[in-house]
């Protein structure tokens, strides 16, 4: 396993109490970074910090769909730290249903957390990165944002929005030493699968030529490189990790 140098760097990882977010946090810590994990579930945050047991791991209870909460937490962190890395990982899939039967409240919740949450975190942290002329932002999108999953129009729309946001922001920040990229994973064995029907999960698996789900550590390794100084040129890009599912 490659080791990237993240010494003297501070990272914020949303949705960091479990799954992708927690594994990314562990890799960052082993690479020398200070890490703030954000999540809406304080119980899971406490469980994660106890499990990891590292003095460089900090947590904040944050609802990323609430801009005021996001802004306040960022302001508190930058009193004593530079934020060098932002991983927008917080997200929900929501239920599966045809678009015309989709519950409006559920639709709005999925868009608010997946897309608006990414926007709010970038809006709050980017000015700080511009001031320091350094930053690495990785937005965890989804292959659904490229292909569009049937019966998951809200999730697919939100992740397509994250891809578009990444491309726009990456171009806006290209004159600075700030890289903004997105990752489009296929399904992985995380708790997010529990939000879906068994039929939908099996359909997702059937679309992957590799014939298996993504392993969490495979995504975390890609995130580590994109978050390092070694990634000095790639920006406004989308990095696929779908086991061959994506056609572009």
DSSP 208: -
Q: Is 192 helix (H, G, I), strand (E, B) or coil?
A: helix
Structure tokens at 158: 């939100």
**Can you tell me the distance from the alpha carbon of 238 to that of 88, in angstroms, rounded to the nearest whole number?**
14
Let me know how many helices (H) and strands (E) the chain has, helices first. Answer: 9, 7
Residues marked active site are found at 155
81 neighbors 10 (Cβ within 8 angstroms): yes
């Amino acid at each position: 396993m490659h080791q990237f140098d993240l010494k003297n760097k501070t990272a914020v990882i949303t949705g960091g109490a479990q799954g992708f977010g927690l594994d990314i946090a562990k890799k960052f810590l082993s690479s020398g970074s200070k890490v703030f994990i954000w999540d809406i579930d304080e119980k899971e945050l406490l469980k994660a910090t106890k499990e990891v047991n590292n003095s460089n791991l900090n947590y904040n209870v944050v609802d990323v769909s609430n801009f005021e909460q996001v802004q306040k937490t960022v302001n508190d962190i930058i009193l004593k730290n530079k934020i060098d890395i932002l991983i927008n990982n917080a997200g929900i899939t929501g239920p599966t249903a045809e678009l015309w039967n989709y519950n409006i409240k559920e639709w709005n919740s999925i868009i608010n957390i997946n897309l608006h949450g990414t926007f709010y975190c970038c809006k709050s942290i980017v000015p700080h990165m511009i001031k320091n002329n350094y930053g690495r932002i990785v937005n965890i999108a989804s292959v659904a944002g490229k292909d569009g999953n049937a019966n998951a129009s809200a999730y697919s729309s939100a992740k397509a929005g994250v891809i578009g946001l990444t491309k726009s922001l990456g171009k806006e920040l290209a004159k600075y030493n700030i890289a903004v990229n997105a990752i489009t994973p296929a399904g992985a064995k995380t708790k997010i699968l529990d939000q879906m029907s068994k039929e939908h999960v099996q359909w997702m698996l059937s679309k992957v030529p590799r014939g298996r789900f993504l392993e969490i550590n495979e995504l975390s390794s890609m995130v580590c490189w994109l978050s390092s100084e070694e990634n000095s040129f790639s920006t406004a890009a989308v990095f696929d990790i779908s086991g061959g599912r994506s056609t572009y």
